Structure 1
């Protein structure tokens, strides 16, 4: 392919990316994901996701197929680009056939960023650097003067995130380390957002937050939004939406799922019941969880909450001091 053809191909992909990004933004807009903070619309329109996902994997019979932006076949390059701007999660890193990193569904990212409720000047810590795309969205919104820090345990992930961010023109601080320990040298933070699921809230996060800080993290197939009230203290409710993320590496093993014998199939297949099971794992057996779920009218996620107080952390239904409370650590 000659230089002229390369230029023409590059322009075609750039134009296609802009059109696909605009279509994605319209789709997220229609979903209401950033209704709590519509400024994110302009951010998603500006930040080019395709620079953060040079390749990804799609499930096919017998495994995964790699799609990448440098494919010699122009049709495959187009397919790669359209996939990047679909409102879908993308598998970005595999190890021995297992997914170890992904780029989250854009509408879920938009909803989480809106629920983070950032204000100008906020210092934000992101747990789980992924491709760097979420950090770029935050840096675009808050400015690039050191307000955004993102951390990941895997050097290959942080190195790739740094490269993607630089290619897109963003420079948040990228740290290689254990997200459960936070990043004390960059504290204090006004906001912490995690893009990986955890069994409980790491105490280090609370001690790196200013009073009034907001923490948004996946937990037990949901998203919990906590307000830090004082040193080592935080409380808040779950959001309405389900959320499934790769577990935090280094965050400790997930407890084994207890057998569901005796629980009716309609409950086993119900997303809200599975959320209650995940939240109370180790505290309630599935039959007790089912009895509670029926007795309380199959409660929505927003009725559940989480309290952290010093060494204690517990989930609850309706009231932190009420009859339904389950220790998380």
Structure 2
């Protein structure tokens, strides 16, 4: 049995799984997921704090099972020589982004965050055009180049080592700039590297997550964004994240566990599934900039949507509101409950109803165009 006979059925099964989940909707994305060998981009991975090297030229059954499952794969951590986190993203998220990108043959694309090089290769397979991708880590960029060559995509994919904040003007103008790392906003330089009808797709920080946001400049030359789908990518290094004022809240916060006696079980609408929970989360984030993703000390039970003011937090769970101890928590919970009520009375509007303006940040060395003035196309929100 040849190597291609080993991995192709697994790639086909992955594509079928992504179809069932609704992540793949088009034949173009499905064909790319099947055709571009994901295992060729993995030379090692982390699990339970342990690194396992693998040989993509002689893939084992274990590697193929890992590569063609719907899960993200951590390939580097700050503890190794790459100097930071890097991964190959979860295929269902990759497929959703590729569908949202509305790729077509001939499109010129710039990717921010090469990672393993798999996503850029998928894009190149779909567009049959040149794709430039930028990676901050010299080691990760070198590995991506090797992987692109291993997959036979060097004629279309060029991996650059550099700061994605600057883009890559020599390869433009682009029909699409797509970021595969969480950002705090859009780099001003990107706008200068677009065609007049181009789009930016970026996971931009909002409410402690990185929902995928479609940015266009077609209306009066002012960039506007619209939420496309939920996502939560690793944060970019450098000014793509630190250019915000203040820096976006992240999962780094760990607060005291809530007081069970102060719980408000009837303050959150019943029947929330994963999708509607994120819809509520984005509604809260649009109304209250204190909305984030926080955790608690000594337990993961309350990790998720939360409204945090200093050392006081209200954790918003499908089971209700869970408050940390202290008199300020009651006031914070009252304010949060009022916003939740408007979401319920408005018919539980979806994440995709929200749009924003992107305006320059100030007071930092590297400016970003960050989301402001959130608006929903649903009334009463």
Q: TM-score, normalised by structure 1?
A: 0.80
Note the residue ranges of structure 1 that are not aligned, 5 or more in a row.
1-7, 325-329
Greater helix content: 1
Find the partner of 2:98 among 96, 106, 113. Answer: 113
Equivalences for residues 273-312 of structure 1 within 5 A:
273-276=280-283, 282=289, 286=308, 287=332, 288=335, 290-297=337-344, 298-308=348-358
Q: 1:210 to 1:32 in 2, by over 3 A?
A: same
Q: 1:158 to 1:264 in 2, by over 3 A?
A: farther
Aligned to 2:197: 212
Q: 1:244 to 1:130 in 2, by over 3 A?
A: same
Aligned to 2:232: 244
In 1: Cα distance, 2:142 partner to 2:220 partner? 33
Please report how far the alpha carbon of residue 205 of structure 1 lies from its aligned counterpart in structure 2 after TM superposition.
Answer: 1.5
In 2: Cα distance, 1:279 partner to 1:51 partner? 41
Aligned length: 303
Q: 1:195 to 1:278 in 2, by over 3 A?
A: farther
Equivalences for residues 10-25 of structure 1 within 5 A:
11=2, 13-25=3-15
Q: 1:318 to 1:177 in 2, by over 3 A?
A: same
Aligned to 2:169: 184
Note the residue ranges of structure 2 that are not aligned, 5 or more in a row.
269-273, 292-306, 309-331, 362-368
Contact 2:42 2:56 in 1 (8 A): no
In 2: Cα distance, 1:105 partner to 1:169 partner? 22
Please report how far the alpha carbon of residue 308 of structure 1 lies from its aligned counterpart in structure 2 after TM superposition.
Answer: 2.6
Aligned to 1:327: none
Paired residue secondary structure (2:27):
coil
Please report how far the alpha carbon of residue 65 of structure 1 lies from its aligned counterpart in structure 2 after TM superposition.
Answer: 4.5
Contact 1:206 1:232 in 2 (8 A): no
Note the aligned Cα RMSD (angstroms): 3.3
Contact 1:234 1:307 in 2 (8 A): yes
Q: 1:271 to 1:308 in 2, by over 3 A?
A: closer
Aligned to 1:173: 158
